[in-house]
Structure 1
Amino acid sequence: MSIAKLEAELGALLQKMEPAARRGLARDIAHQLRQSQQKRIAAQQNPDGSAFAPRKPQLREKKGVLRRRMFAKLRTAKWLKVEASATGAAVSFVDQVERIVRVHQYGLRDRFSPRIARDVEYPARELLGFSPQDYEMVRDKVIDFLS
């Protein structure tokens, strides 16, 4: 299912609602989406259910700590923000970490440190995205709200 299909399915029903009610529904959906994104990032899974590409071995860190600490701070509510209005809802990262997130989301090249002269290519790890369960949750929330 795609966003366009979901909107076509529920768009007419949502237009009949008052703006304040749409804003409340959007806020509720956005909070649920943030929770599902946080759980998925903690489990290190892409929206399609596949595992994140593993990190390269780090020389100075203990073996078991790497997997638990990957994106640990990014998935907190401080960095993962919710925006809701009468026209829609959004879950996004704050501007301070946007570059880091973009590099990991799309698998781009970035400089690891200013002291290191060469760029490092990161594998794609989809931090934000809709899983099939998210589509179902949005549809169920709208139907429950309307009934």
Structure 2
Amino acid sequence: MSDNFEELTPWLERISKQLNAQQKTRLNRRLSTKLRTVWKRRIKAQKDPDGKRFASRKRDGVGSIRRGAMFQRLPKMLKTSYSSNRAEIGFAGRTAEVMAVHQFGETIKPNPNSKPTRYPVRETVGFSDEDKQLIINEIREFLLNE
């Protein structure tokens, strides 16, 4: 899977020239809303954009593993933003900082008194091949109904 849209760029540029600002805003709203719904479902299912399960949790100091799904409240925190020039989906504030640690598998100190901990990569935000196809289909449907 590749997160670049180089193969779609010429096609999207031609479409962009044919739409006015209001139409672009409606299209971007539609795309961001649809993708947010798909991403929420994927996070709830504990899967990354490639369809692989998130890395499981480590044992705590006592030897037990915390039960339950990670990021249970996270789907509610996905934000969308759009205008005639852009469509964004992601997290904001402290949630964005925490999710960046998991997204890229960083090493941090959870609190000042603990030793640094390396978190495994748990990619919550990203485009799958199905997402790219969804974008193409939504643009096609939008153009046919405009």
The TM-score with structure 2 as length reference comes to: 0.88
In structure 1, how many angstroms separate the alpha carbons of the residues matched to 2:6 and 2:60?
Answer: 42
Task: Tell me how many residue pairs correspond in the alignment.
Answer: 141
In structure 2, how many angstroms separate the alpha carbons of the residues matched to 1:49 and 1:28?
Answer: 24
In structure 2, how many angstroms separate the alpha carbons of the residues matched to 1:123 and 1:96?
Answer: 19
Contact residue 6 and residue 135 of structure 1 kept, 8 A: no
**Per residue, is there more strand in 1 or in 2?**
1
In structure 2, how many angstroms separate the alpha carbons of the residues matched to 1:66 and 1:30?
Answer: 32
Partner of 2:51: 49
Q: Which letter maps to 1:66? A: R
Deviations 1:20-58 (A, max 9, x none): 111011011001111111111111111111111111134
Deviations 1:70-106 (A, max 9, x none): 1112211xx2110111112010101221211110000
Residues 95-110 of structure 1 aligned to structure 2 (within 5 Å): 95-110=93-108
In structure 2, how many angstroms separate the alpha carbons of the residues matched to 1:86 and 1:25?
Answer: 8
Residues 1-147 of structure 1 aligned to structure 2 (within 5 Å): 2-58=4-60, 66-68=67-69, 70-76=70-76, 79-116=77-114, 118-147=115-144
In structure 1, how many angstroms separate the alpha carbons of the residues matched to 2:107 and 2:21?
Answer: 42
Deviation at 1:59, TM superposition (A): 6.5
Contact residue 45 and residue 52 of structure 1 kept, 8 A: yes
- 5+ residue gaps in structure 1? none
Contact residue 53 and residue 125 of structure 1 kept, 8 A: yes
The TM-score with structure 1 as length reference comes to: 0.87
In structure 1, how many angstroms separate the alpha carbons of the residues matched to 2:73 and 2:113?
Answer: 24
